[in-house]
Amino acid sequence: MNGKTVYFRLLVGFVLMLAGQTNGNAFQRAERPNVVLIISDDQGYGDLGIHGNPHIQTPVLDKLGRESLRLTNFYVSPVCAPTRSSLMTGRYSLRTGVRDTYNGGAIMATEEVTIAEMLQSAGYRTGMFGKWHLGDNYPFRPGDQGFEESLIHLAGGMGQPGDFTTYFQGDRSYFDPVLWYNGQQKAFQGYCSDIFTTEALRFMEKKASDPFFLYLSFNAPHTPLQVPDKYYERYKDLDPSAGFDKDGRPFPEMSERDKEAARKVYAMVSNIDDNVGRVLDKLEELGIAENTVVIFMTDNGPQQARYVGGMRGRKGNVFRGGVRVPFFLRLPDRLEGNRDISTSLAHIDVLPTLAELCEAPLPTDRQIDGKSFYPLLQGRDVAGFDDRSLFFYWTRRYPELYNNIALHRGNFKLVGNTGYEAKESDFELFDIEADPYELNSVLDANKPIASALKSEMDAMIADLTQSPHLNRPQRVIIGSEQENPVYLNRNDADGERGIWTQEEVFGMWKVKTLEGRYRIRFKFIQPLKTKGRMVLETNSVILQQQHREVPTDEISMENVYLPEMEMDLVPFYQTEGRSIFPLWMELEKISGP
């Protein structure tokens, strides 16, 4: 049990002790609700029938939306790992150490307190199934961050080089995958979204006697766009650009490639729709639907050009098409549904809202950027939302001044797509209420507002970029009892920008080794065809061995001594003037000091 869990359990115990000393039914607490948080990946605001898309078939989610409280101005980050870290912690992603989707920047500091840890310390059972994308090794995995049960793929997506157990399956990476159950590889049969849902249903059945938190995080409809044929058949003849009432709203130009992508995305979303139906049916079967918070949301806008409700931009972009997403919340036994809430809310608000709703203590030793919107759900007015600012950015590695960056306060949103010396006049200012599609900058007529927002943006950037977790590398621990062997994958490799499937690229993994002797294995994307030497730089000591047995795509080093220290592991195969970086490396501790 880590220090964070002990702290929260002591606090909860103290609160319950005080409650037990109070006489009278007026102080008895209502039964705490279960929480089912469902999030999909790269599903945009327009990828639902309820949001005006005449083509996509989402009857379950449309019905859920009609029954729910609909947050009609709900915002996230422009890309997935930052959204997920903010969702889990109630903090801007840069505070958590998450600055990218790969290149070693999608590892959330283990010191962060997640929704799972917060609810677990208040007596909840916790499980997650699907996409984690906040660190694949100890101490950053779901099981290290409050989830007692987890089934995940690695990296940012199945079929990506970081998810090496599915990468080599190519166009079948979403089918019959090898996944990671509680940190161990396990083979499954079927389609990924169906598998994650089936395992989530089993978790609900096992934990239904206790309050539980289920995080069902679909990796669909993220690329690669793979879906069972029976779903694709529904859309194979569709023109996804036709049939919309444009009504003056922008509609993106769609290439034939975009149209085919939309067909596959719609098919993947229809599969998600069926699986959400399975979850809702299970809640009814278990008799707990009335006392279960069900949330459905997505992590950012669509990756490809398609209908997005007329909004400008898509995934990776700070315009509304990239950061405004669906958010439905249903809790039948205490919240009146079928209502719209138009207040600007965000991913950072979910943790404090669940803390209040579930009577769990918020962390008090760190800044929580979000604010509970539970009073809004109850129909009560609450101050503090209209006059606060929401910050958005997205560039690779770290924020760039002032590129793809925005600050939204009240009706106004300041957007920068310019350079570090930009003046206020180089920005765009939008009145979101009058211009929800962000088509016409009103900066010239509102220079004092732009100046104030620019000053606040500068202060926000200065604060976030000095966050300790951002400036101190998150290091995987090698040689611990909690994870042995350790597989280091491409998603968490730092080095050159954009390490993906390149062979001749400079890369490294930032780790902390525990003293001992190790067996180390290197796996390469393509077989090595020429003799050379395998090199592993470990800070002050360089290990190398000659290698003559080719062709091969694996090389091992045996009985390697590593001291206890923080180090950057830099492996490469050197041959004929080339340095080839491995796809992954495995380190198994075979003996102590």
Break the chain into its structural domains and give their ranges. Answer: 32-146+190-377, 389-470, 476-591
Q: 469 an active-site residue? A: no
Give residue-wise pLDDT tens across range 56-77: 999 999 999 999 999 999 999 9
pLDDT value at 121 more than 90: yes
Tell me the pTM. 0.94
Of 51, 55, 80, 408, the active-site residue reads: 80
- pLDDT of 19: 40
Give residue-wise pLDDT tens across range 512-521: 999 999 999 9
Q: Residues 506, 510, 516, 519: is their CA dihedral positive or negative?
A: negative
- pLDDT of 22: 33
Q: Tell me the pLDDT band of 2, cut-offs 50, 70 and 90.
A: low
Q: Tell me the pLDDT band of 12, cut-offs 50, 70 and 90.
A: very low
- pLDDT of 165: 97
CATH class of the domain at 476-591: mainly beta
Mean pLDDT of 271-300: 98
Q: Tell me the pLDDT band of 381, cut-offs 50, 70 and 90.
A: confident
In angstroms, the CA 272 to CA 265 distance is 10
- pLDDT of 453: 98
- pLDDT of 3: 53
- Thinking of the domain 389-470, which architecture would CATH place it in? 2-Layer Sandwich (3.30)
What's the helix, strand, coil split of the chain in %, to 5?
A: 25, 25, 45
What secondary structure does DSSP assign to 300-331, as a single string?
Answer: SS-SSSS--TT-S--TT-SSHHHHEE-EEEE-
How many residues does the structure list for the chain?
593
Residue 38 in contact with residue 296, Cβ under 8 Å? yes
Q: 153 an active-site residue? A: no
In angstroms, the CA 536 to CA 569 distance is 7
- pLDDT of 383: 83
**Torsion, Cα of 123, 129, 131, 136 (10° steps):** 70
Radius of gyration of the chain (CA): 24
In angstroms, the CA 381 to CA 125 distance is 32
Q: What percent of the chain has pLDDT over 70?
A: 94
- pLDDT of 473: 93
Query: Which CA distances in Å does 412 have to 144, 183, 391, 415, 446?
Result: 40, 45, 12, 10, 10
Question: Other CB atoms closer than 10 Å to residue 539's CB: what's the count?
Answer: 13
Give residue-wise pLDDT tens across range 448-482: 999 999 999 999 999 999 999 999 999 999 999 99
119: left (phi over 0), alpha (psi -120 to 50) or beta: alpha
Q: Hey, which bits of 445-562 come out as E strands?
A: 476-478, 486-488, 494-495, 507-513, 516-528, 532-538, 541-547, 552-562
- Thinking of the domain 32-146+190-377, which architecture would CATH place it in? 3-Layer(aba) Sandwich (3.40)
Residue 494 in contact with residue 104, Cβ under 8 Å? yes
Of 133, 222, 347, 408, the active-site residue reads: 133
Q: Which residues pair with 507 in a beta bridge?
A: 495
Mean pLDDT of 200-223: 97
